[in-house]
Amino acid sequence: MHYFLDTEFIEGAESIELISLAVTSEDERDFYAVSTEVDLSRASEWSQTNVIPKLPPRSDPRWMARSEIARGVETLVEGDESPKFWAYYGAYDWVAFCQVFGGLMRLPKRFPKWYRELKMLDTLAGNPAKLAKPADRHDALADTRWNRGLFLYVCNVIRDSGDPLLLDRL
């Protein structure tokens, strides 16, 4: 099954600090969490304006430790022996995702060691996607749902094109 991930994070010169993480499955199941381990005082002015106001209040149970976030992702993916993770411009998202599990080499054995890039898929299909960004953009959950929509749209374009090279790789 395909899973779509997004994170919000604090980007430093030498680190990426997770703020929030969301994963949406192809069949529309969601997991969303905010890290209790983040120091929001370190967030840039951009994050203070565009990300932090969209977070749930600290009393919300979706605020959890990274180890609990890892368990939540594993629960969402439970039973899938070969999950495929997709992200849009996802290099930093993948790093933050892996950090939740303690790093790339500590991902659950059935998880791939790489993610699939939605922007690359869109580009290979000729950039057909002209989907409006969500109104609540930079909310990790809203962004994963948009990622899912982008994937489905581009897959339909690829199927309609009949391009066997792309069809076999989905």
DSSP secondary structure string, 25-79?
ETTS-EEEEEETT--GGG--HHHHHHTGGGSPPTTSTTEE-HHHHHHHHHHHHTT
User: Counting runs of H as helices and runs of E as strands, what totals does the chain give?
Assistant: 6, 6
Which run of H or E residues covers position 122? helix 118-124
The model's pLDDT over 36-79, given as tens digits with 9 standing for 90+, comes to: 999 999 999 999 999 999 999 999 999 999 999 999 999 999 99
Per-residue pLDDT at 140 = 96
Per-residue pLDDT at 82 = 95
Per-residue pLDDT at 154 = 86
Per-residue pLDDT at 39 = 94
Low-confidence ranges of the chain (pLDDT < 50): none
* 152 contacts: CB under 8 Å, gap ≥ 6: none
Q: What is the CATH number of domain 2-167?
A: 3.30.420.10
